[in-house]
Amino acid sequence: MSSQAVRLVVLVSGSGTNLQALLDAVADETYGAGVVAVGADRGGVEGLARAQRAGVPTFVERVADHPTREDWDRALAARIAAYRPDLVVCAGFMRILGKPTLEAFPVLNTHPALLPSFPGAHGVRDALSYGVRVTGCTVMLADAGVDTGPIIAQEAVPVLDDDDEAALHERIKSVERQLLVDTVGRMAREGWTVTGRTVRFGRPGG
């Protein structure tokens, strides 16, 4: 990783296919970013194994190992800070981050629905049971709410007549991985500005 590259810490809770897409993208020096560590809120997940196979340092910080949620928030922020990230990417990380992380670093999140519709842990199921014909994925900045941060990029995915939750989620995830890679790459190479709820690529005054 070049010394100019934007330093990413990626947080996962599960299979880590979005993480894998980032690990594949950063192998190209021109991408502009490198993954300096992968963290999880639970051990034994495939996302951690993917990082290990790529030779990326990992850490696990479990909520249950701390007396209070606030203690976990502080411990997680300290683990992340040790890798001096320029950007933290939640890639299927199933926890709301607390102030210690949100105030220290810009944090990106990805969600398998077109926000502000269907936020929360069951975005695909909720969109399907509502009966929408088009859903999709959203990459946004994280804030203290549940999927409420400023939106950076979105892409639509049609709902097919015979879709169940698993099939629809898989089709969304293949679009989501590319959207995440494209968005992180542009943020790394071009910078970004936030004005109210509007996020634009490019450096201030650039």
Give the amino acid at 182: D
DSSP assignment letter at 160:
P
Nearer to ligand GRF, 155 or 191 (CB): 155
Nearer to ligand GRF, 18 or 135 (CB): 18
Q: What are the distances in angstroms from CA 149 to CA 16, 162, 173? A: 22, 32, 20
Catalytic position from the list 66, 111, 122, 169: 111
Nearest to residue 95, comparing CAs of 135, 127, 60, 67? Answer: 60
Shortest Å, Cβ 52 to ligand GRF: 15
DSSP element (H, E) containing 109 = strand 107-111
- Contact between 112 and ligand GRF by CB under 6 A: the answer reads yes
Token pair recorded at residue 77:
């922020």
Nearer to ligand GRF, 74 or 182 (CB): 182
- Contact between 138 and ligand GRF by CB under 6 A: the answer reads no
Shortest Å, Cβ 139 to ligand GRF: 9
| Residues 6+ positions from 189 with CB-CB distance below 8 Å | 31, 32
DSSP assignment letter at 65:
G
Sign of the alpha-carbon dihedral angle for 32, 36, 40, 44: positive
The question of whether 111 is a catalytic residue gets the answer yes
How many residues touch ligand GRF under the rule CB under 6 A: the total is 15
- Contact between 14 and ligand GRF by CB under 6 A: the answer reads yes
Shortest Å, Cβ 131 to ligand GRF: 20
- Contact between 51 and ligand GRF by CB under 6 A: the answer reads no
Among the listed ranges 1-9, 32-40, 105-113, 146-154, the one in contact with ligand GRF (CB under 6 A) is 105-113
Q: Is 1 exposed, middle or buried (0-12, 13-18, 19+ CB in 10 A)?
A: middle
Among the listed ranges 16-24, 25-33, 36-44, 143-151, the one in contact with ligand GRF (CB under 6 A) is 16-24
Token pair recorded at residue 1:
């990783």
- Contact between 183 and ligand GRF by CB under 6 A: the answer reads no
Nearer to ligand GRF, 14 or 191 (CB): 14
Residues in the chain: 206
Catalytic center residues:
111
Contact residues toward ligand GRF (CB under 6 A) are 12, 14-19, 47, 91-92, 110-112, 173, 176
